[in-house]
Amino acid sequence: MNMSGGRLDMAVSRDELTKLITNALSISPKRNFKQSVELILVLKDIDPKSQEAKVRETVFLPKDVGKEVRICVIAEGEMAIKAREAGTYKVLTKADLSSVDKKTAKKMASECDWILVRSDLMGLAGKILGPALGPRGKVPVPIPVNIELAALIERYRRAIYVRNKDQLQISCRIGTEDMNPSDIAENALAVISAVEAKLPNHDKNIGEVIVKTTMGPPVKIKIG
């Protein structure tokens, strides 16, 4: 992206996002649970059914999202051992995966935010878990045998999958209400940057930036 007047050429600035998030947090009614902070991007000047309007992107956030990210690893041998040592939510071997039925597959798809699969087991994982993961917008992630697994798992603890269907709106979680607004803004910027990179006219295709807590009212910035 280009620099203009010392500022990244983006739809919205870091300061604007921080103010927007602070406002959303201040007007959000208190609940008896920790609310998520959600980012909604409304697109414009693009055909929602066109290929160029479809966004499917894994975004590695600079800050934690404030909640546990459940990672499942499907592997064998030493990789499975390292996955357990890294404190992953669930570790399955090839034998474990082979015994997974439809009910268990649906439970895994619901519970696990990310399913990392040793590359040679991807075919089996896709066959058994694919029908349950697809409707939830999740996909198994292939990982090579010689990867530094602990570091990869740590990256995915700060990852979100951003996608839209045939609509001009993208929604995702960028933090929780107890986080510092500036940290949430950092995450929001990472998402906006990733989305802009996928759009034909980049920042010009974002019409509104909206922030809200789970149960709170939305606040927005209209672009252009």
Whether the predicted pLDDT of 78 surpasses 80:
yes
CATH homologous superfamily of 71-156: Ribosomal protein L1/L10, domain II (3.40.50.790)
Q: How many helices (H) and strands (E) does the chain have?
A: 7, 12
What pLDDT band is residue 20 in, cutting at 50, 70 and 90?
A: very high
Predicted model pTM: 0.86
Residue-level pLDDT at 11? 78
Question: Parallel, antiparallel, or unpaired for β 141-143 and 114-118?
Answer: parallel
Q: How far is CA 64 from the centre of its chain?
A: 11
pLDDT at 201: 87
For the domain spanning 3-66+158-222, the CATH number is 3.30.190.20
| CA end-to-end distance (rounded Å), the chain | 18
Does the pLDDT at position 138 exceed 90?
Answer: no
pLDDT band at 84 (very low <50, low <70, confident <90, very high): very high
**What are the pLDDT digits (tens) for 102-136?**
999 999 999 999 999 999 999 999 999 999 998 88
For residue 179, count other CB atoms closer than 10 A to its CB: 20
Q: Which two tokens stand for residue 181?
A: 């607004």
Has residue 7 got a pLDDT over 90? no
Listed by start position, the domains of the chain span: 3-66+158-222, 71-156
Strand 56-60 versus strand 114-118 pairing type: unpaired
On average, the pLDDT of the chain sits at: 91
Q: CB of 100 within 8 A of CB of 209?
A: no
Percentage of residues in the chain having pLDDT higher than 90? 76
For the residues 143-160, what does the mean pLDDT come to? 94
pLDDT tens, 22-61? 999 999 999 999 999 999 999 999 988 888 888 989 999 9
pLDDT of residue 9: 59
